[in-house]
């Protein structure tokens, strides 16, 4: 089963919304950063399964942060990337290798 970004964000809100609201953005951000660290370790020396689960954790905590701030991640992605690369507005991106993104 695959979920859309919106469905996942709703699911995370249903599962953890009360806890997340009580913890607040600052506490939630610390948990998010811990998960990013765990993903880093899994990418360096973990198995594919470990990395897969850490990717899921990082995405879930990112959703949690967005929920804490009332931000719809689907709308945010559409706003930022819906017209192509935010730098050159092309698909695929033709920005130089030193340019972000």
pLDDT digits (tens, 9 = 90+) for 46-55: 999 999 999 9
Q: Is the pLDDT of residue 1 over 80?
A: no
Predicted confidence at residue 100, as pLDDT, reads 76
Average model confidence (pLDDT) across the chain? 96
**Overall average pLDDT of the 15-42 stretch:** 97
Predicted TM-score of the model (pTM): 0.90
Tokens of 44: 């360096």
Q: Is the pLDDT of residue 93 over 80?
A: yes
Q: Is the pLDDT of residue 101 over 90?
A: no
Instruction: Quote the CA–CA distance of 87 and 20 in Å, as a whole number.
Output: 34
Q: Is the separation of the CB atoms in 58 and 36 below 8 Å?
A: yes
Q: Indicate the CATH number for domain 5-70.
A: 1.10.287.1080
Q: What confidence tier does 99 reach under pLDDT thresholds 50, 70, 90?
A: confident
3-state secondary structure of 46: coil
Crossing angle (nearest 10°) for helices 5-45 and 48-69:
140
Instruction: Quote the CA–CA distance of 31 and 95 in Å, as a whole number.
Output: 33
3-state secondary structure of 5: helix
Instruction: Quote the CA–CA distance of 42 and 45 in Å, as a whole number.
Output: 5
Q: Is the pLDDT of residue 86 over 90?
A: yes
């Amino acid at each position: 089963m695959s979920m859309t970004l919106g469905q996942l964000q709703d699911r995370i809100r249903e599962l953890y919304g009360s806890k997340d609201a009580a913890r607040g953005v600052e506490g939630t951000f610390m948990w998010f950063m811990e998960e990013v660290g765990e993903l880093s370790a899994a990418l360096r020396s973990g198995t594919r399964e470990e990395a897969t689960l850490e990717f899921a954790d990082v995405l879930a905590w990112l959703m949690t942060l967005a929920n804490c701030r009332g931000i719809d991640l689907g709308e945010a992605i559409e706003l930022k990337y819906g017209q192509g690369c935010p730098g050159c507005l092309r698909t695929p991106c033709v920005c130089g290798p030193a340019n972000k993104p």
